[in-house]
Structure formats: C-alpha cells, structure tokens
Amino acid sequence: MGAPLLSPGWAAGAAGRRSYVLLAPFLLTLLLVRPSGALVEGLYCGTRDCYEVLGVSRSAGKAEIARAYRQLARRYHPDRYRPEPGDEGPGRTPQSAEEAFLLVATAYETLKDEETRKDYDYMLDHPEEYYSHYYHYYSRRLAPKVDVRVVILVSVCAISVFQFFSWWNSYNKAISYLATVPKYRIQATEIAKQQGLLKKAKEKAKQKSKEEIRDEEENIIKNIIKSKIDIKGGYQKPQICDLLLFQIILAPFHLCSYIVWYCRWIYNFNIKGKEYGEEERLYIIRKSMKMSKSQFDSLEDHQKETFLKRELWIKENYEVYKQEQEEELKKKLANDPRWKRYRRWMKNEGPGRLTFVDD
C-alpha cells in the first residue's frame, strides 16, 4: 500500500500550528521581559544617570557629591541663571534653568543618603529587576520620617494621661455621689464634728459668704469620705501602676510572677495534693464566674462568705448555684411590671408589626 494522501488544507493547518508553537514562546518573552529603560522613567533621575548629572564617578564620596551639587545649584538656580552661548544642562541635552535645577536636586537627594544610594547602585547593576526597584523606591518615599518607636511611645503616654484623668474624674463623681447618701454623709459629718473641723471652718470663714462656707464644709465632708471609704471596682482611686505605660513597663515582671505562681499551684495542688486555702478557693470561684479581679473585689464581703459556705469552688456546687441564680432571675423578670409590659408589647405588636389607624 502507498503512503496516505494528505489534503492541502490539513497540511496548511499543521504548518500554522507549528508556526504558533514556535511563535508562542517569543510572544510570551516579549510580554514578560519589558525594557527596563522605559520603567526607570519616574524613578530617581529618570532615564538620566544621577552620577552623570552631578558630574561625579560612582566611587565619589559624600564631600565630592556635596561640592558638585553646590556648584551646579548655584549655576542653574532659576534666580541666578544666565544663559550663555552653547550652554547645556547638567546632562547631554539643553534644558531650562528650572528643569536643570530640579534634576540636580533630585540627583543629590538620591546620592547623599547611603541607603538610597545603595538602592540606586543596585538598579544600575541590575536593570532587569524593575519591580524590585519600584518597591524600594516608593517604600522609602512613603515610609514615615519619624521613628515608629517614638510614635508608639507618644501614643502610649497620651493614652496613659487620658486614662489617669478619666479614672480620677470617675473617682470624684463617686465621692460626690456618696456625699449625697444620708448614711455616709451623717457619718462623715459626725467625724468632722468630733475632730472640730466644721467649727474651725466656721471660725476662719467670718468674712466669707454663706456659699463659700457651704462649699468649704462640703469639701471637708468629701475629704473625710475619701479617707474612710473603701471604693473598689471601676470607681476606685486611680493608681499610677494601673496605667497602660506602667503596665507595659512591668509586663516582664508580671509575666515572671505569673509563671512562678502557676508552677507553685501545679506543685502544691496537683502534685502534692494540698487542700485549697481561702485565697485559692476565691480564685477558683472568680474564674468560674468569669469575673475580672476588680469586679470580684467590688463584691461585698458577705457575698464572698456565702460563696465559701456553699463551697462553690467545687464544680458540682457551682453548677447548682448557677441554676438557682438563673431561676431566681426568671422569677424576678416574671414579676417585674416593666418586663411584663415588654412581653405584652412583643406579643401583641412587636418591632416588626405595621398597623393602620383610620381616623
């Protein structure tokens, strides 16, 4: 049998496919390998060499670069430039004084900094890595000029100052409120009378108005409340060590203290099997209730005694206590008139119901 005959159309298609196979890598290369000179436009001195702009070699030192810049800046400064026959810019093509001056300034800004000069030299030696050149160029231009550590320190100090004054304001509000509560006001007034503070205030205030005398007596009562009352929780007296700045400074100490405390806990109660003390029992109860230390400290002493009597550090006892509290809360809400009105409103109308009132 002879060789199979091939149609002219099939042969032409095969030749076209072979041409496409050979042409595809070439087109892909053209797409990926872009001329570096076009991409350098807009970076540093553009298509010009910064060293040639200043008329120095790549091995020139900072002093030589600065000296060349001063000479060219005086020559091409727009206010002092005087064109001369055959005068050219700092490069190879004639330029206006302003363009020449800006180009010289750009070249000097590029070469005077060690890091920027290192990036520029790398670009001259590796022109094909244009994406890397763009990244280094704009990362240095857009990077903050101020040290980030300074910014963080100033921010932390500002937050700490705000914290201190905010806590102090809350503390003063709590004292002002306690001064209006009859229980504490009567006790503070009795203490002031026993110490003779009110009598001394009246004797010193003979030439003062009644309002000034009243304000002075009020301050005496508030000061006594401050010295006698024990406020815990969110309205307690602000402490310097609670501020964010000091918390950050003392963080390593707190971390080491916690590690030591945790190791002692494991050794004493998990390995040796010691019984929990009162402090440890309250700690377990607080963790079960998911309360912070300040929240737990703000509870009344009789509440903590109740927790200890019911042995709530034991998981089973705490689960029973938690269920009782939930049932009690449901009863309170069921008997609360406001809660009843809310449930009636949700049942009859609710937030999504539309009514049409025909007047």
User: Can you give the pLDDT at residue 84?
Assistant: 59
Per-residue pLDDT tens over the stretch 2-36: 444 334 443 344 444 444 444 444 434 433 444 44
Question: Which two tokens mark 268?
Answer: 């004493």
Per-residue pLDDT tens over the stretch 309-358: 989 999 999 999 999 988 888 888 777 777 777 677 666 655 554 444 45
Rounded CA gap, 222 and 50, in Å?
73
Q: What is the pTM of this model?
A: 0.47
Rounded CA gap, 20 and 12, in Å?
12
Phi-psi region of 273 (alpha: psi -120 to 50; beta: other; left: phi over 0): left
User: Can you give the pLDDT at residue 156?
Assistant: 92
Question: Which two tokens mark 261?
Answer: 């405390």
Rounded CA gap, 83 and 201, in Å?
88
Please give the domain boundaries of the chain with CATH numbers for all domains: 50-142 (1.10.287.110), 149-238 (no CATH), 275-345 (no CATH)
Counting DSSP H helices and E strands in the chain, the numbers are 18, 0
Per-residue pLDDT tens over the stretch 81-90: 666 555 554 4
Rounded CA gap, 132 and 137, in Å?
9
CB 260 within 8 A of CB 267: no
User: Can you give the pLDDT at residue 261?
Assistant: 92
Low-confidence ranges of the chain (pLDDT < 70): 1-41, 80-95, 142-146, 198-208, 229-236, 342, 345-359
